[in-house]
Amino acid sequence: MGRQAMKRRMMIIAGLWAGIYLISAQELSDAAKVQFFDQKVLGILKENCFKCHGAEKRLKGHFRVTSRKGLLEGGDIGPAINLNEPEKSLFLEMISYKDSDHEMPPKDKLPQDQIDILTQWVKMGAHFNPEHEIAGEAEQVLPNTQVNDRTRAYWAYQSIKRPAIPKVTDRAWSANAIDAFVHDRLTRANLSPNGPADKRQLLRRAYYDLIGLPPTPKEVQAFVSDQSPNAFEKVVDNLLARPQYGEKWGRHWLDLVRFAETNGYERDSRKDLIWKYRDYIIRAFNEDKPYDRFIKEQLAGDELPDKTGDSITATGFYRLGIWDDEPADRPLARYDYLDDILRTASETFLGMTVGCARCHDHKIDPIPQKDYYTFLSFFSDISPHGKGATNHVPITDPKSKAQMEQQRAEQQKIVSQIREQLLPFEEALLDGFAKTNPTILDRAEDKDQKKLTNPYALPDASRGKGQIWEYTTKKPGDNWFEIAYDDRDWSKDWSGFGAKGTPGSIVRTEWKTSDIWLRKDFRLVEIPGKLTLRIHHDEDAEVYLNGKQIRKFTGHVGRYVDVDITEASLDVLQTGRNTIAIHCKQTSGGQYIDAG
């Protein structure tokens, strides 16, 4: 190539670059922008966007792409075009396929050259040719999922108004307003009412409706013989005053709030003291507690200025659902737990399925997802399920508590007497079996001997070399004593934790801080008839078994002591894996903790 040809080519390239610079540097005319829309953009939008966003009656996401006004106004998640910073426009983010939340059109990503065209169009201001715009109907139907004039007008959200009582021609059906409505509806349907029930039928209906039990023959005869005009009224008053009324109608409320005495899932452990909530509901019905007070006590009974033992018991509402004590995903389990409370509260107290808005706006009712999480925040600070006795609040006066302790002691005495009475029968039964199978006695003796020589499910440090325990001296999470707690990061060492020289101690692992937390798993093949805790503590100690606080010790002892924990452990002890957890706190002097 000659020197002159090369020079000409360089001049042409320089001219082209200058032309491109002039075009990009100068603002295009409105006519040029419209022409760009017609030639480059319209076809892409028609093929990929119009069907769902403006060409037909229904607008997905309430977003119209068929007009510039529709783009600027946007849909459910805001304006699609950002005129101040075009490159940050939601429209461009949605076609970018940068993640699973930004994929438009949904079937497949646009070719890169089309994305480039749409990007250039947005940067130019997203001009439309008015001749090709589809503006849509002037008055669009208001969406169901927003609070607006349309949804406010729905019958379920209207204030209750007393309707006019229908006029009936039959005087016998006009004595009661309800009868008048029933007779009016029958008349309009060209139906005749049945004759009145006889006194026996009427009495049975009243009994089953109010207390769920049939009347006795004596009660039937008394009502049939009573010819006074207020005979039925006296029966109703009597039934409403009976304790069975609260038991019958309280059951319906307990169904609504998903009452259960166990937690569900594979272990299905007991809900400690939840029967108190059941009895509270029965009392509320029998005392005709005002409904507004009834609701307040269950949702915030411990926060009321005039709180009582009853109002605190009512907050057992928050403990009625299922609870996963060993979740694979703890954050998910927590929000599933809160979701259960929210759903129950909204469906029971509001009659609305707010829980449907957990993952998206409600599909039918005017409940946006934002309202779901606003509502959820009211329940997010309740104390977590499973904190054992640390969640228990004393509501019993000293006198009642003393009476209860006396009754428990009497009950335990009776149980022990019954066990002693059963022992001869068990031995006789075993002897009877042995006549046909003598090896039964041999196995029974072996079993008893094994129990006698090694009766310790978990030996303490004073017996042999002790056991390996998990421990930490740093304050752990609130659920550190739960059977499912993850203690893999804790240290491990031999039992007998403390400072050498502490009276009565057998120190195998030194402990010098003010606090120590211990955990140990042990297994049982059967539930023992008696369970004894052997402990040496210096100073205060809290002992938990499978998440329940079974004993609390204060001060210090100079030796190992045996404590009967049979009754305290019966509701949580299980065959297979069990977990004992101990927190010991030391303030001065020697320090030591060991148990088995």
Instruction: Indicate if the pLDDT at residue 373 is higher than 60.
Output: yes
Tens-place pLDDT, residues 147-198 = 888 788 888 888 888 999 998 888 888 888 999 999 999 999 999 888 889 9
- The alpha carbons of the chain give a radius of gyration, in whole angstroms, of 38
Q: Please tell me the predicted confidence (pLDDT) of residue 446.
A: 39
Structure tokens at 224: 């049939």
DSSP codes joined into one string, 362-410: -SSSS--HHHHHHHHHTTTTSPPTT-GGGG----S-HHHHHHHHHHHHH
Strand 540-545, strand 576-585: pairing: antiparallel
Instruction: Indicate if the pLDDT at residue 74 is higher than 50.
Output: yes
Averaged pLDDT score across all residues of the chain:
84
**551 vs 46, 375, 534, 568, CA distance in Å?**
74, 38, 12, 8
Structure tokens at 191: 């139906």
Q: Please tell me the predicted confidence (pLDDT) of residue 207.
A: 97
Q: Please tell me the predicted confidence (pLDDT) of residue 449.
A: 36
Handedness of CA 393, 396, 402, 408 (dihedral sign): negative
Instruction: Indicate if the pLDDT at residue 404 is higher than 80.
Output: no
**575 with 521: CB under 8 angstroms?**
no
Instruction: Indicate if the pLDDT at residue 453 is higher than 90.
Output: no
Instruction: Indicate if the pLDDT at residue 97 is higher than 80.
Output: yes
The top-scoring range by mean pLDDT among 259-273, 452-466, 577-591 is: 577-591
Mean pLDDT of 357-376: 90
Tens-place pLDDT, residues 490-513 = 999 999 999 988 988 999 999 999
**Cis-peptide into 503, omega within 30 deg:** no
3-state SS class at 546: coil
Q: Please tell me the predicted confidence (pLDDT) of residue 433.
A: 73
Instruction: Indicate if the pLDDT at residue 321 is higher than 60.
Output: yes
Q: Please tell me the predicted confidence (pLDDT) of residue 140.
A: 54
Mean pLDDT of 17-36: 62
Which residue type is seen at 223?
Answer: F
CATH topology of domain 457-595: Jelly Rolls (2.60.120)
Rounded CA gap, 534 and 596, in Å? 5
3-state SS class at 107: coil
Q: Considering only CA atoms, which of 85, 42, 93 is closest in space to residue 65? A: 42
Structure tokens at 83: 């005129």
Q: Please tell me the predicted confidence (pLDDT) of residue 186.
A: 93
Instruction: Indicate if the pLDDT at residue 535 is higher than 60.
Output: yes
Q: What angle do CA 230, 234, 239 make, to 5 degrees?
A: 150
**How large is the angle between the packed helices 369-377 and 330-345, nearest 10 degrees?**
100
Tens-place pLDDT, residues 224-242 = 999 999 999 999 999 999 9
> 365-389 in b/e burial notation, b at 16+ Cβ within 10 A?
bbbbeeebeebbeebeeeeebbebb
Q: Please tell me the predicted confidence (pLDDT) of residue 142.
A: 64
Asked which of 155-159, 319-323, 348-352, 403-407 is least confident by mean pLDDT, the reply is 403-407
The top-scoring range by mean pLDDT among 27-41, 68-82, 378-392, 537-551 is: 537-551
3-state SS class at 467: coil
Q: Please tell me the predicted confidence (pLDDT) of residue 364.
A: 85
**Residue 243: pLDDT band by 50, 70, 90 thresholds?**
very high
Name the phi and psi angles at 440, rounded to 5: -60, -45
Q: Please tell me the predicted confidence (pLDDT) of residue 451.
A: 37
Rounded CA gap, 468 and 460, in Å? 10
Instruction: Indicate if the pLDDT at residue 18 is higher than 70.
Output: no
Q: Please tell me the predicted confidence (pLDDT) of residue 316.
A: 93
Tens-place pLDDT, residues 327-354 = 888 889 889 999 999 999 999 999 999 9
3-state SS class at 547: coil
Q: Please tell me the predicted confidence (pLDDT) of residue 381.
A: 85
Rounded CA gap, 443 and 433, in Å? 12
Instruction: Indicate if the pLDDT at residue 314 is higher than 80.
Output: yes
Rounded CA gap, 287 and 243, in Å? 10
**Can you give the length of the chain in residues?**
596
Rounded CA gap, 333 and 505, in Å? 42
Asked which of 30-39, 378-387, 472-481, 517-526 is least confident by mean pLDDT, the reply is 378-387
Q: Please tell me the predicted confidence (pLDDT) of residue 594.
A: 93
Rounded CA gap, 530 and 570, in Å? 9
Q: Please tell me the predicted confidence (pLDDT) of residue 291.
A: 96
Q: Please tell me the predicted confidence (pLDDT) of residue 145.
A: 74
Asked which of 63-67, 307-311, 432-436 is least confident by mean pLDDT, the reply is 432-436
pTM check: above 0.85: no
The 3 state secondary structure assigned to 41-100 is: HHHHHHHHCCCCCCCCCCCHHHCCCCCHHHHHHCECCECCCCCCCHHHCHHHHHCCCCCC
Instruction: Say which residue, 270 or 591, is predicted with more confidence.
Output: 591
